[in-house]
Each structure stands twice: as C-alpha cells, then as structure tokens.
Amino acid sequence: MNEDQNKDIFTIGIGGAAGDGVKKIGINIGKFLCEIGFEIYLSIDYPSLIRGGHNFVRLSFSRNKIWNDYERLDILVCLNEETKEIHKDEIKEGAWVLEGLKTEEILEKIKEFLSVKGFNENEQNSKLSLIDGNTAFAKGLEAAGLDFYIGYPMTPSTSILHYLASKQTKDGLKVIQPENEIAVINMALGISYAGKRVAVGSATGGFALMQEAFSFAGQAELPLVVAVSQRQAPATGVPTRSSQSDLRFAIHSGHGEFPRIVMAPGDPEEAFEIGAGALNLTWNFKVPVIVLLDKILSEHLMAVNIEKLKDGNIERLENGNLKFPGTPEQVVKVTSYEHDENGITVDKAEDVKRMVEKRFIKATHIAEEMKNRETIKVYGNTDSSDTLVFFGSTKSPILEAAKHFNKSIKLVQIVWLEPFDAEKVERELEGKRVICVEGNYGGQLASLISEKTGIKIRDKILKYDSMPFDPIELAREINQKFS
C-alpha cells in the first residue's frame, strides 16, 4: 500500500512559526475548497506558546467523504524557511513547494493546482462548511436551549468558551468566566438550582478540580452538562496535544456512587447531536452528563452540512417534575448532605439506604432510554468476523483507514461509555476477532469492554505519543493483524 497512489485525495500542508498566521491561512484554504464542493479534514498541530515554535496545518481534500488527513503532501506551503526542512520527507514526488508567497498568491497557486488536476473551480455549490468539534458541540447546546455556559480557559476546551461567549444576547445566552474551575462548577450548580440550563467545560485537568462538585450534582440531583476535552496527561502534560487516557477518569468521576451519563462523540456531527442530547438528558434524568472530547475532535475541522445540523429537530425537552426557588407556596431545598425528599439532612441507616436507592432508580430509567439511542455505531462489513472497536475521535482515522483495508472489516464505535451498553456491545463482539484501537497506554476501552461483557480483548493498537493516528499507518497495522 502506498499513500501516493491515493489518486483522488490531495493533501496540503501549511507550516510556519507561531504568529505567522498558519492556522488562519490553512482554514482559509480549507474554506475555499469547501465552498467549491470538496470534502475536507483539517488538522492543526501547534506547541503551547504564543510566538515562535513550529505550527502546522494539514488538510486533505477529495470529492468523496474524507474522515482524516494524510501525512504525504501534494502541496507544501512554507511560511518560513524551517518548514521546508521539517517536512521534506513528507512531500510526494512532484509535489508543489510554495515559498515566500502572500496569502492571495498561495490561493492562486492552489487554484492552479486544481486546474492541473482537472477540477473546475465552480463545479459544485457546496452545502458543506468547515467546523471543529468544540464549535459543533457548542451549537448543539445552543440548539437545545442552553441558558448559561460557565468556563475557565484551558486548552483544548477554550474554543467552546470563546464561541458561546460570542453568541451572548441581552436576554438570552449568558457566558461567565469565574475565578477558577471550582467556582465554575459550583456557580453552574447555583444556576441549575435556580432553574436554568447550564453547561461547563474544561480539559480533564480542570475537570479534576471539579470532582467534589460533580459528586454534589449527583447527590443533589442538579442537572448539569460537563464538556471534558482530553489532552496528553498526566498533570499539565502536553497541553496542545491529544489523548484518550481519561476514559476511566470520566466514567468514574466524582466520589461516591451515583448514576451519570458519559458520551463520546467521534466527529463534529456527533458532537452537535450529543451536545444537544446531553442537555436534554441531564434535564430529563437529573443526572450529570459528561461529553468526552479530546484535542483532535475539539480542534480539528471537518466539512459538515451545518444547515442540516441546525435545522435538525432538536427539542428543548422540559421536565415538569423539577422545582425551582421563586415559586409561591413552595420551598426548594438542596444539599450536599444525604437528605430526605424535602431536602432535610438525614443520617439514619434506613434513610441513607432509601435515598441511595431512590437515586439509582434513575439508572433503570436511563437503561430504558438507551434502547432508543445510538449507544454504539457499527460501520463497514457488519457480517465480518474481523472487528475493530474504538471510541471518540479515533473514529476519524479508522474510517479513513478503512479505505485501505485489504478486506472488509466490521467497525464498532462505542458512543455511550457510561452507562455501558453491554448487551449491544456483546452482540457485536462475541466470538469475533477483535482489535481495540485507542489513544492511551493502558487499553482503557478494552478493559472496560472486558469488565462489562466478559469478552477479553487481547489485541490492541495503542497510541500514547500525544499525536493523532495516521490512517495509512493504521491500515498497514490492521491489515497485518488480520492477514
């Protein structure tokens, strides 16, 4: 398999120093290609600094759906001298290397390239537009009637804060940036108590600071959506690079036992749907809902039919059983202590047991709801005994790699990580040759599947170098394992 034989897929790389406008130029090229009908996947790689350092935007485009960008370049745009040296081994034979050009000149060269390749610039009027996972997620929240977003900046979650802050209106959406993450989530719980729809977001490090209050949301049954975007950890880790190492942390977050929902979208379209769904689920079931993202999904852009997303029938589900302060003849008491139905502190054993069970009744209601939801998604050859299983943004490189598989394989995406749909997963994986593909060292999804279904997954492809999977490399490895 040789990526250079990818005849209908083209890749452009744009490199330069931080501050050179790499991202802006890259996205402009992407937008232009999108407008004239190309499918696009655009990745952004940058170090954690404001000036200097090497920034690189790479976009692959095609007339057909593109799930992931490729390493090998048809065009390399150099905004500084270093770029050519860094990427010299990635250019295809006959690739165009553009140096010392202004933005408009770069675009002219790309038009020229298209014409050489036989594309007519105005041949399609596209319904697609480029969107990253964070923005799509935020649009989903908006569509389901978000009233408040509370956030503290932390890569790679910050663009949710930025996008929603720009969408504030006098009497509509409000966005607040308090003093720290602990204030973020506690402020959100005050908002939720007063009856408004609220979401918070952070990287997992920020969410780590929110743990006690996340548990409070479980105890007090206050609706709350939490967006958690993973980056390479532990601790400060590699701030601008990705990871899927917080799956276990997310599903087990908060001390004590209480029902919660954790969903992991795999692309911007799913981020939109799950963002909207999360707000309605938390409102409906009064359990905190986590939407697990990662740097790749949060920041990479994909061509999506945004109108279709916006016009989707997203309902703002109401829950008539919720009570809020400000209602005459009604006293609404919530507390972080164990409490009875009236919100009065209790500590008698029988009361404690009864209230734990009361909260877990919701888990059975959620289990019912899951029957109507796409808790898992299956792609590829559903009859194949060779099966890949994955979650989150790994969907992108796997669906792209599938174009290069030697045989058709079943692809299983786990969307709901908690509660885990053991029945559906078992049905898809039982008796199959399964490889689990995930972006962490420990094989957290594989161990979760094993825990929930009893199916042992011995074959894993794990990546923990903070960089995205490359579809060609992935296809090569999978072809070898399934040969």
Partner 1 sequence: MQQSDLATKEKITWCPGCPNSQILVSFRQAVTEMISEDSFDKTQDKKLKIENLVAFAGIGCHGKISDYLNINSFTSLHGRLIPAMTGAKCANPALTVVGFSGDGDSHNEGVEHLVHAAKRNSDVSLFIHDNRVFALTTGQFDALSPKGFKGKSTPFGSLEEPFNPLLLMLASGATFVARTYAGDIAGTKRIMQAAIAHKGFSYVDIIQPCITFFDTRDYFKDRVYWIGEDFAKDNLKAAMEKVYENTEEKVPLGIFYKVDKPTFEEELYK
Using CB under 8 A, list all residues that contact partner 1: 147-148, 150, 170-171, 174, 176, 178-180, 182-184, 186-196, 198, 212-213, 216, 324-337, 343-345
CA pair distance 328, 334, nearest whole angstrom: 17
Q: At its nearest, how many Å lie between partner 1 and the CB of residue 164?
A: 14
CA pair distance 431, 233, nearest whole angstrom: 35
Nearer to partner 1, 225 or 411 (CB): 225
Give 38's contacts (C-beta < 8 A, 6+ positions apart). Answer: 61, 62, 63, 126, 303
CA pair distance 439, 243, nearest whole angstrom: 5
Give 348's contacts (C-beta < 8 A, 6+ positions apart). Answer: none
Q: At its nearest, how many Å lie between partner 1 and the CB of residue 193?
A: 6
Q: At its nearest, how many Å lie between partner 1 and the CB of residue 209?
A: 12
What are residue 263's phi and psi, to 5 degrees?
-125, 145
The token pair that represents 277 in the structure block: 């769904």
Nearer to partner 1, 101 or 183 (CB): 183
Give the residue from 112, 86, 116, 121 showing the smallest Cα distance to 14: 86
Nearer to partner 1, 109 or 333 (CB): 333
Nearer to partner 1, 47 or 325 (CB): 325
Whether residue 244 contacts residue 298, with contact meaning beta carbons closer than 8 Å, is answered with: no
Nearer to partner 1, 286 or 432 (CB): 286
Nearer to partner 1, 213 or 289 (CB): 213
Q: At its nearest, how many Å lie between partner 1 and the CB of residue 220?
A: 8
| Cross-strand pairs, 43 | 58
Distances in Å between the alpha carbon of 248 and those of 204, 213, 424? 12, 18, 20
CA pair distance 471, 483, nearest whole angstrom: 18
Q: At its nearest, how many Å lie between partner 1 and the CB of residue 192?
A: 8
CA atoms within 13 A on the CB side of 175: 19
Q: At its nearest, how many Å lie between partner 1 and the CB of residue 187?
A: 4
3-state secondary structure at position 102: coil
Q: At its nearest, how many Å lie between partner 1 and the CB of residue 150?
A: 8
Q: Sign of the C-alpha dihedral, residues 397, 402, 403, 405?
A: positive
CA pair distance 220, 213, nearest whole angstrom: 10
CA pair distance 396, 374, nearest whole angstrom: 18
Q: Please state the three-class secondary structure of 24-47 as a single string.
A: HHHHHHHHHHHHCCCEEEEEEECC
Angle at 305 between CA 301 and CA 308, to 5 degrees: 135
Nearer to partner 1, 25 or 184 (CB): 184
CA pair distance 156, 307, nearest whole angstrom: 25
Give the residue from 261, 263, 265 showing the smallest Cα distance to 284: 261
Nearer to partner 1, 257 or 423 (CB): 257
Q: Sign of the C-alpha dihedral, residues 348, 350, 353, 354?
A: negative
Nearer to partner 1, 2 or 342 (CB): 342
Q: At its nearest, how many Å lie between partner 1 and the CB of residue 293?
A: 24
Q: At its nearest, how many Å lie between partner 1 and the CB of residue 219?
A: 10
Q: At its nearest, how many Å lie between partner 1 and the CB of residue 335?
A: 4
Nearer to partner 1, 91 or 189 (CB): 189
Q: At its nearest, how many Å lie between partner 1 and the CB of residue 221?
A: 13
Nearer to partner 1, 142 or 294 (CB): 142
